[in-house]
Structure 1
Amino acid sequence: MAGAQIIPVRVGVVLDMDGHGEMALTCISMALKDFYATHDHYKTRLVLANRDSKGDVVGAAAAVLSSITCSDNLNSGQHSLLKSTFSEQANFLIALGHKAQVPIITFSATSPSLSSLRNPYFIRATLNDSSQVDAIVAITQAFGWREVVPIYEDNEFGERILPFLTDALELVNIRVPYRSAISPLATDDQIVAELYKLMTKQTRVFVVHTLSPLASRLFTKAKQLGMMSREYAWIITNGVTNELSSMDRFVIESMVGVIGVKPYVPKTKELDELASQYRKMVQKNKKAIIRNPTYRGTNISRNATDLEAFGVSETGPKLIQALSTTTFKGLAGDFELVNGQLQAPPFQIVNMFGPGDRGIGYWTKKNGIVRELNFTSADTNTYSTSKSNLGSIIWPDNASFPPKGWVIPTNGKKLRVAVPVKHGFDEFVRVIWKSDNSTNVEGYCIDIFDAVMAALPYHVPYEYVPFATLDHNMAGDYNALAYQVHLGEYDAVAGDVTIIANRSQYVDFTLPYTESGISMVVPIQDDKRKNTWLFVKPLTWELWLTSFCSFVFLGVLIWILEHRINEDFRGPFWYQVGMIFSFAFSTMVFAHIQKLQPKVRDANQLIKNKDYVGYMNGSFVFGFLKNMGFEESQLKAYDSPEQLDEFLSKGSKNFGVAAAFHETPYIKLFLGKYCSKYTTAGPTYKADGFGLYVTLLPPPSFASVFPLGSPLAPDVSRAILNVTEDPKMVRIDSQWRPDPEFTMWSKIAELLQKFDNKDLRSHTFKKHKLSERDDGCCCDCMQSNHENYQQSPSSFSLASPRTNCPPSPIPSSPSEHNIDFQGDRRSSSRECNDKTTR
């Protein structure tokens, strides 16, 4: 008889007896009925004693205390407690259960701050809110969004998820620039005010973590304010997604385009049958549940000593051990506890469309975003955040493409793009001031910036603002300019701003658009000692033969051209043949081969000799040279290519410089103007190139720069790649790398002028005594040059006039006057004067 006796196990059920609490109590009753219908051999039977927690901490504490201490007709307290209360009520209730050693089982307190490790008698039979964080982050990664703003309920339920969400986002370099907390008791005006504040920010990706009542009001107002347009992206957590079926249809229609996550619940026949039974039971028991609550509505005691008066459950330790090891497969999937916490199933990703939501994919802890769940096949180890694994998505405003995630704030202002004000090397960036104090900005870097911004997949309005003082000078060095971006004074910087380590601490750089490196430029000198036999060193016998044949062919060609007009190519047949071969031999052997050598080999030579070294005024190269070992007294600043030419021409001993250091793009520009006088020497020191600074508030190369974490930086980097691979980059480069004043027509005119000039040292005119009247040149100088020059028709070059020569009379021949003074005199005078000024 004792074995056949039914043993009741009293379980207190503490619920907020609103709609959710009533639904929970109905489902629990249905579950017990179905369980014992299929397990009638069980002798222990759960007996529910429900209490209404009245929706607050005091009411919940009273209900729990009543459940633990109150006796009924069986004269036994509660062996365990099932509770459906909010997270803010849970901490105190869990403490009561721990003191009485009564297991506290919750299926509604989702706060990550509740831990079973610190509270061994606490079991969470619902999902921790933090379990969905990785799924949300994966969605954000899939669409390339770089900033996210959480909108959360201003209570423990809302705020406890934030540390987990922000940490997970930061791990994949996604910023949280702002957090929006809205009270569940906020008025509509307060909600609208917060939404207006969000509209003034640049970020357009929002993660909403609230309960459904606040979410309903939030999305309704967002729709009215135009925030459900195609530039916005909304993600809702399971606090809202799980309640979509109970939300008003008007609210659902305002949420079209929203993406949500919720625990995956397999659709089964048993689940459909439960739904049908639930509807029938609700209709049957609705009135009874409302009119006959078992909780009496008064506290058992208000005495503090009553909290210490209840006893300790003897069966609690065994019961908590049994509960912790319980596993089964239920209608919602696998039920498994680890450290008192329910393990998360896969999350389903849904898209709000029309009257409800539809699944577009899944997220699993092992594989990330997947199109379908396939439990039968072997799991792969690949974790994916690819949007291609998601189904088609309808975005807000029925857009078919995802929003970029940010916009220019709605204050109507353009991006303020600062540009440096330069007085040297202004081919990179040039500010032209007009009479009305307005400016026109141009240059190589400006053309690159314009091309990059035009290549973006969306329009970004901007304007150039000189970083200048009232007297049109630079308002600081490049470090100060970059820091102004960090402070928010400018939204962008376009110009020859260099990527270096210390600047990257407060701004972000895009990919560089120029080559990197720091080079040394030095004067060149002729190595005349080795010129005589230099021509034989690289020749093999095949090359000897080829060269000889080519020179003979060239001799024949010259003979054909000169035979009728040059006496040297006339006479007896064998004389003329000998002239051809003599010309070929003299060209090959006596050709003036120059070997140009740098005067300085490396930086160590400069440091050792204490020579002066040049650097661009305001450049970071100053610190670079000091780190190399140069003393500050050795360093001289220059402001322009012309001043650098002057310093290098003087040399270190004449208060100039022996060499200069600058970034590779500047050096190439300088050598383009003075290639005959200077060359690079030594190694090219590692650097990263030029870039653009850009912000939206967010080793040397030029690059675009943003404030830290700016969402515009990745898009600009991609646009830079497109521009640098486009033919337009060649046009920009060719336009600005040569001297802007040295146009194509000026090049052609100079070439024709040189072609028309006569070389007075040529043997063609050796029988004529020519003279030229010039401020810097005389016939004696030219005669000296002429005598040392090889008597070869191929030796065409301009004279090298000398300075300090006395004037000579003008030649009397009209033809010589017309030919020589139309071209060669101007060229010679220019060269002489150039040497004098340098």
Structure 2
Amino acid sequence: MERASQIAFFLLLIIDFGVAQNATTSGADEFPVGVILDLESLGGKMSRTSILMALEDFYAVHRNYSPKLVLHIRDSKSNNVQAASAALGLLENYSVQVIIGPQTSSQAAFVSDLGSKSQVPVISFTATSPSLYSGSLPYFVRATLSDSTQVNSIASLIKAYGWRQVVPIYEETDYGRGVIPYLIDALQEIDVRVPYRSVIPLSATTEQITKELYKLLTMQTRVFLVHMSPDLASILFIMAKEVGMMKKGFVWIMTDGLTNVIDSTNPSVMEAMNGVLGVKFYTPKSEELDNFTIRWNRRLQIDNPNDPPLKLSIFELWGYDTIWAVAQAVENLGIKNKTSFQKPAVARNMTRLGTSVYGPDLLKTILQYKFRGLSGHFDLSGRQLQASTFQIINVVDKGWKEIGFWTAENGISRRLYHGESTTRHSGLASDLNPVIWPGKSTEIPRGWEAPVNGKKLRVGVHTSVYPQFMASGKDPITGATTASGLSIDVFKEAIKRLPYALPYEYVAFGTTNDTSSGGYDDFVYQVYLKKYDVAIGDITISHNRTSYVDFTLPYTESGVAMVVPAKSSKTNNTWIFVEPLSRDLWLGSIILLFYTWVVLWLMEFLGKKTNIAGEVPQNKKLGITTFFSLFGDKDGVERLLSQIVLIVWVFFFLVLSVSYTANLATMLTIRQLNPTITDIHDLRRSGDYVGCTRGSYVESLLEQLNFDRLKIKTYSTYDGFYSALSKGSKNGGIAAFIHEVPYIRLFLARNCKGYTMVPFYKAAGFGYAFPKGSPLVGDISKAILGIIGGDTINRIEKKWIGIGYENNCNNAGRAPDPEKLTFGSFFGLFILSGAVSTSCLLIALTTKFYHRNRDQAEGNQGGNDAPQEMQNSHTACHMLAPRMV
């Protein structure tokens, strides 16, 4: 652009060299201002009316201001060179101090270069391209929004509806290209891809546009972002409707350059745009704006009687406010001196272009002036307007309706919050009003569809070591690639469950078109190279593969395990009966047993059964017999407190005995088969050989676990690793075969006896690999959830693997050995039994001493009557005790 600007500038100097006139001398009360517009365009005519009305309104309010602005309006004729020529003439012939209104970004670039050389501020209220960098154009002021300010609102809108891919359609100009880098960055932040960019030349014919639309129709993406001039966009939407791209399932979004002028769009174009979304700068309503709109419509019709009625847009309001800002800045600066330009003593580059005396101060004053205009808060302190609020609209019939707002503070919301304290919204579609989509649909489009040009999905397949999971071949008649296996059946079932038709064809891995070594990593990498649209099979979802492809949800179990020989455990161990209980539990139980026996003996002794110690040997009974004699006539415990202690202890004994029996039974059944190796790290330290499938994910996993590379043997056939596992590591084979759990399930189904599985590593399972950002991932994953959540997966597994192997094989995923019962497990019962025994003993002792003291006291007072009374009382308690129990 800079080179083109220099060439055009040089040509202008040659043209103006012979025709330049001496600068006219302005009157004392005049301040010359240049205006450059495309007066042949509707936008130029509308802006001209706004600017003239602004000048009239300003000095109608400020009649005593001097000097007054005098506008010198020139027509750029929609040409960059003509715009620069007009600017050069205004600077040399009229010594203008400000240039307003180069309408396009390319015109503004040319004119701003002249403004920088002459130190004259150039203010554009329509040039929105971010490529107009203020650092390289120090005297350029943007009295409008940069296109880059809207990208966050567009990204939030796309995120709200969950679309994952977007195709921008833009014109091949500085205006069209300028916003794209900012848009791509904003979309990447929300993980949205741009698979294609559609660039339309400004001079494109309807045939060229139609051809490009048909190209877009063959792609999967159905979300299009349009960023171009209104005239070109009108043709685009009309042609899009003709080719069938304005129906259900499509999404069209307009940038603010189009949405801001939506009210002036031709009704026939509006009809073609039904269902389109757009973002536009929000203009607050006011009484002043309503009055100005009425006057503006009347004035525009007078100025352009042959043109159809047009509606006021935000650009005209910005032009209006720009004149007010410049006029007030001139007044605030207090310019009185007539000499406004310093001419060079010698013409440089064949021109007498000088530098403005007031330019630097005037620019500074304009940037400092802030006020509330018709467009809202007007602040150019950043050398461009700052966006505060965007309005999101939906084109319906021949008008539009509001569906929400976007602000940097609150994100997307259904209504606008004016200074209200509110939390940031969720950013979901539910925060917006309902939308009428293309085709008058109320269903939110998914944002993509299968291609309609007959192109089939290229599905990469390969032959696995386990043909039950995946096998590929050639049809002998047609020569087409065929595939079968569990992975294929799950994929076919997922395709059937999609809400749309998805034609596909198999492409065999390892053909001459593939430059690979045959490993699974190479197979998945073909998706990244775009040789396949999807790779299916027994592909393990791993972290390194997710860096260049996207995986569906897994359709198999997850994890990595070892297959090792199993050995029978010695269940005829002489002391196996002591293993269910831990040592501390055995010790605690014995201590509690003797403590309870001592407490019972003492309480019976205190109850006047003084001969209990002599009766035990006479009746040839063990002391523990006393614990089970709750209500015996002569041999059982007699005291109520003794019976309470005995009941609590028997409860403890029953709980302990039941737990002991259950744990012993578990040990005798589960311990029938034990793995020869139980820990992967012990296997590594032993130095034995281990095996895995060649080219699988496990091979790299073993290296990550620091296994010696020389100790890892790889196999490509089932018979190979089965034979090696049978030999053992010391006989030239392997001590363990390491593989993913689905493979091991299949192995154990065929080798039920003699081997067992020891899991040791978590993995994500098998999935299908798609290119990054593929919209198919979500739909296929949803279908897989339905498959594995019902009976379908059982039917498929029965077909390829068989059923019942887990029920028939005790070693197919052996349960861990049961743990011994510990003292802590019964701590509460120990406390209960001990506390009850101790409490009863203390009660018995207290009662004994109480009765003894009372007997002694009564003996002293009543002689022989007291003993007789005590005997009667004791006899009554003895008779009531069994009834209380």
Pairwise TM-score range, normalised by the shorter structure: 0.7 to 0.9
Alpha-carbon distance in 1 for matches of 2:127, 2:361: 24
Which is further off, 398-407 or 278-287? 278-287
Residue 91 of structure 2 corresponds to 68
After superposition, residues 339-358 of structure 1 pair within 5 angstroms as 339-358=382-401
Question: Residues of 2 paired with 1:320 and 1:400: CA distance?
Answer: 51
**Gaps spanning 5+ residues in structure 2: where?**
1-26, 308-345, 591-660, 810-885
Q: Which residue pairs with 1:359 in the alignment?
A: 402
- Matching of residue 332 in structure 1 with residue 375 in structure 2: yes
For the aligned residues, what is the CA RMSD?
A: 3.4
1:12 alignment partner, one of 9, 17, 34: 34
Aligned to 2:354: 311
| Aligned ranges 1:689-708 → 2 under 5 Å | 689-692=765-768, 705-708=769-772
SS in 1 for 2:403: strand
Deviation at 1:500, TM superposition (A): 2.6
* 1:599 paired residue among 676, 689, 693: 676
1:821 corresponds in structure 2 to none
Question: Does the 8 Å contact 1:420/1:467 carry over to 2?
Answer: yes
Residues 163-202 of structure 1 aligned to structure 2 (within 5 Å): 163-202=181-220
Name the aligned partner's letter for residue 711 of structure 1: P
Deviation at 1:527, TM superposition (A): 4.1
The aligned residue for residue 111 of structure 2 is 93
Give 1:677's aligned residue: 754
Do structure 1's residue 611 and structure 2's residue 688 form an aligned pair? yes
Deviates further, 638-647 or 162-171: 638-647
Secondary structure of the corresponding residue to residue 195 of structure 1? helix
Q: CA contact under 8 A between 2:571 and 2:668: conserved in structure 1? A: no
User: Which residue of 2 is the match for residue 829 of structure 1?
Assistant: none
Instruction: Measure the CA separation in 1 of the matches of 2:527 and 2:452.
Output: 20
- Offset of residue 226 of structure 1: 0.9
Confirm or deny that 1:416 pairs with 2:458: yes
Q: How far, CA to CA, are the matches of 1:592 and 1:198 in structure 2? A: 66
Is the 1:445–1:496 Cα contact (8 Å) retained in structure 2?
yes
CA drift at 1:217: 0.9
Counterpart residue type for residue 61 of structure 2: T
Structure 2 counterpart of 1:87, one-letter code? S
Secondary structure (helix, strand or coil) at the match of 2:552 reads strand
SS in 2 for 1:152: strand
Contact 1:414/1:463 (8 A) holds in 2: yes
**Aligned-partner Cα distance in 1 for 2:356–2:403:** 49
Q: CA distance change for structure 1 residues 448 and 591 in 2, over 3 Å: closer, same or farther?
A: closer
Deviation at 1:343, TM superposition (A): 0.9
1:212 and 2:230 aligned: yes
- How far does the alpha carbon of each residue in 1:472-511 deviate from its partner, in whole angstroms, 9 at most, with x for none? xx99332232123233333222221112344334322223
Q: Tell me if the contact between 1:522 and 1:678 (Cα under 8 Å) persists in the aligned partners.
A: yes
Summarize the Cα distance change of 1:727–1:323 in structure 2 as closer, same or farther, 3 Å threshold: farther
Range that drifts further, 38-47 or 425-434 = 425-434
1:49 matches 2:67: no
Whether the aligned pair in 1 keeps the contact of 2:31 and 2:97 (CA below 8 Å) is yes
Q: Is the 8 A contact 1:469 1:475 kept in 2?
A: no
- Measured in 1, the distance between the counterparts of 2:290 and 2:394 equals 23
Structure 2 distance, partners of 1:38, 1:432, is 87
Pick from 733, 745, 748: which aligns with 1:656?
A: 733
CA contact under 8 A between 2:540 and 2:767: conserved in structure 1?
Answer: yes
C-alpha contact (below 8 Å) 2:462/2:470 kept by paired residues: yes
Q: Which has the larger radius of gyration?
A: 2
Indicate if the aligned counterparts of 1:421 and 1:468 stay in contact, CA closer than 8 A. Answer: no
Are positions 1:714 and 2:778 aligned together? yes
Aligned residues: 664
Corresponding residue of 2:330: none
Q: Give distance in 2, aligned partners of 1:739 and 1:730.
A: 8
Tell me the CA shift for residue 287 of structure 1. Answer: 7.2
**8 A contact 2:255–2:279 mirrored in 1:** yes
Asked if 1:687 is matched to 2:763, the reply is: yes
Check 1:519–1:83 CA distance in 2 against 1; reply closer, same or farther (3 A cut): same
- 3-state DSSP of counterpart to 2:488: helix
Aligned residues of 2:121 and 2:363 also touching (Cα < 8 A): yes
Q: State the Cα distance separating 1:185 from its structure 2 match.
A: 1.0
Q: What's 1:795 paired with?
A: none
Which residue of 2 is the match for residue 228 of structure 1?
A: 246
> Matched residues in 2 for 1:201 and 1:592: separation?
61
Alignment partner of 1:666 is 2:747: no
1:15 maps to amino acid: L
Shift of 1:600: 2.6
Match among 685, 702, 705 for residue 628 of structure 1: 705
CA deviations 1:142-163 (Å, max 9, x no partner) are 1211111111111111111111
Pairing 1:196-595 to 2, within 5 Å after superposition: 196-286=214-304, 305=348, 308-380=351-423, 382=424, 384-422=426-464, 424-431=465-472, 436=477, 441-467=483-509, 476-528=518-570, 531-538=573-580, 594-595=671-672
Deviation at 1:204, TM superposition (A): 1.5
- Alignment partner, residue 842 of structure 2: none
Partner secondary structure for residue 29 of structure 1 = helix
Matches of 2:666 and 2:59 in 1, distance apart? 114
Instruction: Please give the TM-score of this superposition, normalised by the length of structure 1.
Output: 0.73
Q: Give CA-to-partner distance per residue, 1:727-785, whole Å, 9 cap, x none.
A: 54455456655469x899xx89xxxxxxxxxxxxxxxxxxxxxxxxxxxxxxxxxxxxx
Give TM-score scaled by structure 2 length: 0.69
- Whether the 8 Å CA contact 1:204–1:231 is kept in 2: the answer is yes
Change in Cα spacing, 1:535 to 1:735, as seen in structure 2 (3 Å) is farther
Cα pair distance change 1:36/1:632, threshold 3 Å: same
Answer whether contact 1:367 1:384 (CA < 8 A) is retained. Answer: no
Cα distance in 2 between the residues matched to 1:43 and 1:362? 43
Change (3 A) 1:606 1:530: farther
The residue matched to 2:780 in structure 1 has which SS? Answer: helix
> Distance between the aligned counterparts of 1:7 and 1:534, measured in 2?
116
Distance, in Å, in 2 between the alignment partners of 1:606 and 1:282 is: 89
User: Structure 1 CA distance, aligned partners of 2:265 and 2:103?
Assistant: 21
For residues 670 and 429 of structure 2, the distance between their equivalents in structure 1, rounded to whole angstroms, comes to 64
Q: Alpha-carbon deviation of 1:441?
A: 4.4
Q: Which moved more, 1:708-717 or 1:431-440?
A: 431-440
Query: By how many angstroms is 1:592 displaced?
Result: 8.9
Question: In the alignment, residue 653 of structure 1 is paired with which amino acid?
Answer: K
Paired with 1:70 and 1:384, the residues of 2 have a C-alpha distance of 58
Residue identity in the other structure for 1:116:
S
In structure 2, relative to structure 1, the CA distance for the partners of 1:204 and 1:521 (3 Å cut) is: same
Partner of 1:781: none
Cα offset for 1:669? 2.8
Q: In the alignment, is the contact (CA less than 8 A) between 1:521 and 1:659 conserved in 2? A: yes
Q: CA deviation at 1:194?
A: 1.3
What displacement does 1:649 show? 2.2
Q: Tell me, in whole angstroms, the C-alpha distance in 2 between the residues paired with 1:592 and 1:193.
A: 75
Larger displacement relative to structure 2 (446-455 or 364-373)? 446-455
Structure 2 contact 425–431 (Cα < 8 Å) conserved: no
List per-residue Cα deviations over 1:368-421 (Å, max 9, x = no partner). 1110112042243x2543111121111111121122222222231332323322
What one-letter code is carried by the residue in structure 2 that aligns with 1:336? D
The whole-number CA distance in structure 1 between the counterparts of 2:181 and 2:151 is 10
Are the aligned partners of 1:11 and 1:47 in contact in 2 as well (CA < 8 Å)? Answer: yes
Task: Check whether the contact 1:531–1:595 (CA below 8 A) recurs between aligned residues.
Answer: no
Q: Which amino acid aligns with 1:397?
A: G
**Structure 2 matches for 1:641-652, cutoff 5 A?**
641=718, 643-652=720-729
- Structure with the higher helix share, 1 or 2: 2
The residue that corresponds to 1:110 in the other structure is 128
* Distance in 1 between residues matched to 2:473 and 2:79, nearest whole Å: 69
Q: Which moved more, 1:346-355 or 1:528-537?
A: 528-537
In 1, Cα distance between equivalents of 2:556 and 2:665:
42
Q: Please say if 1:160 is aligned against 2:178.
A: yes
Q: Verify the 8 A CA contact 1:417 1:463 in the aligned structure 2.
A: yes
1:23 aligns to 2:34 (yes or no): no
